[in-house]
Amino acid sequence: IFRKTLHTRGARVITGLGKYFRQIDKDRNGFLSQAALKEALKRFHLEMPEGDFESLWLILDDSKSDKVDYGEFTHAIFGEMNEYRKAFVRKAYMKLDFNKTGSVPMVDVRKCYCAK
């Protein structure tokens, strides 16, 4: 049900969740507590019965660290990227890494991308 709800409301919810997660992640470590995830889901009207939430938490917190990584959360919801999307990401990365160093400093990203 959770995955179906996310897919029907689409990228807008995921984008909103990502923004919300960054706002509440005060120490910028990329992790969320169980209470923070529950509050985020409630805020975006993705509430579920407690038993379903506990099952979701067990899946997301597979390291049993009592916290989940936002990247792991999105991976659990969406799964692996398909080959077309991976190729598109590689192509974009190659354009950003014009010095062919294998990494892209923020200065180079700013030369190619404007978030306005």
Secondary structure of residue 62 in the 3-state scheme: coil
Q: Where are the domains of the chain?
A: 1-78, 83-112
Supply φ then ψ for residue 31, to 5 degrees.
Answer: -115, 150
The answer to whether 72 touches 1, Cβ cutoff 8 Å, is no
CA gyration radius, the chain: 17
Question: The CATH number of 1-78 is which of 1.10.238.10, 2.40.30.10, 3.30.70.100, 3.40.50.1370?
Answer: 1.10.238.10
pLDDT by 10s per residue, the chain, length 116: 455 555 555 667 777 887 888 888 878 888 888 888 888 888 888 878 899 999 888 888 877 888 888 777 777 766 778 899 889 988 988 888 888 888 888 888 888 777 66
